[in-house]
Amino acid sequence: MKKTFLKKTISAVVVAATMFTLIPLGVSAEWKKASNNTSSYIDGNQKVNGWKKISDKWYHFDCNGTMNIGWIKDNGKWYYADSTGAIQVGLIKINGKTYYFNKSGEMQTGTVTIGGKTYTFDKNGQAVGTTTTSKPINNQDTTVQQTPNNNQSVATTPSNNQGSNKSGITTQSNATSTNGNSVDVNGLAKLPQKYPINVQASAENKILELMNQKRTEAGLKPLIMDNTLLQVARYKSDHMIQLNYFDHTTPDGTKWVDWLQTIGYKYTTTGENIAYNTTDPVELFTQWWNSPGHRANMMNPDFGKVGIGVIQGDNKFMGTQTFSN
C-alpha cells in the first residue's frame, strides 16, 4: 500500500542554498524558499494552494502553500512530483519500481497500452510481468534522503536513470589500489567474498578533488572526506559486487540510511550516488557529473561531508558516493 510505502521512505532532494530566498519569475509571481528548504509560489502577494501550472509544468501545494514533492494523493488519485516539484507523466521508475502516469499525471493501474505495447500494473501502480524499463546506459543511479520535515509532505526521490554522455571531463586514473578481500564495517553484516576486490584509493581521492574543484568554482565549500561515510561507501560498492545487484535498495530491502542508523551515525540529510563501468574508476566522476540528478547531489550546498568508495571486482569498477551534512 502507498501509505506504508511512504512511511518507510521519507526523502527529498535539496538543490538550493538556504541563503537563496527568492527566484523571480515576473512582476507579480515568484518562487520563495524558506529556511527549512521548503518552497512556495507567491502569486498576487499570496501563497498558491492546490494545483498550479507554472512554465508549462504542473505543481501541487498543500494548504499552507508548501510545494509537495514525491507521492501526492488528491481526490483519490495518486500523482508523483520529482525533486523540483514538477508532476511526472509517462513511465517512471521510483525506488526500483516502474509506474505509469497518464497525461494528467494520474498513476494508472490495470492493463494499459503504451506505444503499442500492453503493460499490467497492480493495485499499487507497480508494473508486473514484462519488464518495462531497461538498465541505464551508463550504469548510474542517484537518490537523496533526509529526516522528516513537519512542514513538508512525506516524499520519495525518484532514481535518476538517465544515461550520461561521454563528453566533458575525461581523466586517466592510473589509480593505485589497495589489495584486500574485505571492507566490512563494524556493526554491519559481514560481506560474502564471492569475488576478490581491490579498493581504488587514489581514484577515490581524485574524484573528491574533481568534485571539490567544481564546488569551489561555483562558490561552494569543498566537501570533507568523512571516515565513517568512506567505510559505508566502500561497503555499499562491495555489497553490490558480491550480491550482484545495482540499486539504492539491497536485495533484502535495506538502504544506506539503514546502515548509517545501525552504526549510530548522526545526520539530518544524506544522499547517495552509485555508478559503475568496466574501463576507468575515475571516469565514474564524469558519469555522475553528466547526469543532472547526480550533479545536484555533488553540488548540494547542504552537504559538507562525503565518503567515496570505489571497488574493483567482478570485472568492473563500482562506485558509491555517500553524502551528509
CATH of the domain at 221: 3.40.33.10
> Do 115 and 202 belong together in one domain?
no
Along the 325 residues of the chain, how does pLDDT read in single tens digits?
444 444 433 333 322 222 223 333 333 467 887 777 788 888 767 888 899 888 888 999 988 889 998 999 888 899 999 888 999 998 988 888 889 999 899 999 988 888 888 888 888 898 887 543 333 334 555 544 443 332 222 223 333 322 222 222 222 333 344 445 578 899 999 999 999 999 999 999 999 999 999 999 999 999 999 999 999 999 999 999 999 999 988 888 888 999 999 999 998 888 999 999 988 999 999 999 998 888 889 999 999 999 999 999 999 999 999 999 8
Give Cβ neighbours of residue 173 (< 8 Å, ≥ 6 apart). 200, 202, 203, 206, 280, 281, 282, 283
Residues 157 and 144: beta-carbon distance below 8 Å: yes
Query: β-strand 305-313 against 224-225: which pairing, if any?
Result: parallel
165 located within any domain: no
Among residues 128, 157, 176, the one where a domain terminates is 128
Among residues 97, 128, 159, the one where a domain terminates is 128
The three-class DSSP label of residue 74 is strand
For residues 70 and 59, what is the distance between their CA atoms, to the nearest angstrom?
A: 11
78 located within any domain: yes
Amino acid at 137: I
> Do 120 and 218 belong together in one domain?
no
154 located within any domain: no
299 located within any domain: yes
Among residues 111, 128, 145, the one where a domain terminates is 128
Q: pTM above 0.95?
A: no
* Residue where the block lists cell 501545494: 61
136 located within any domain: no
CATH of the domain at 87: 2.10.270.10
For residues 135 and 77, what is the distance between their CA atoms, to the nearest angstrom?
A: 29
Range of the domain at 90: 30-128
Number of domains forming the structure of the chain: 2
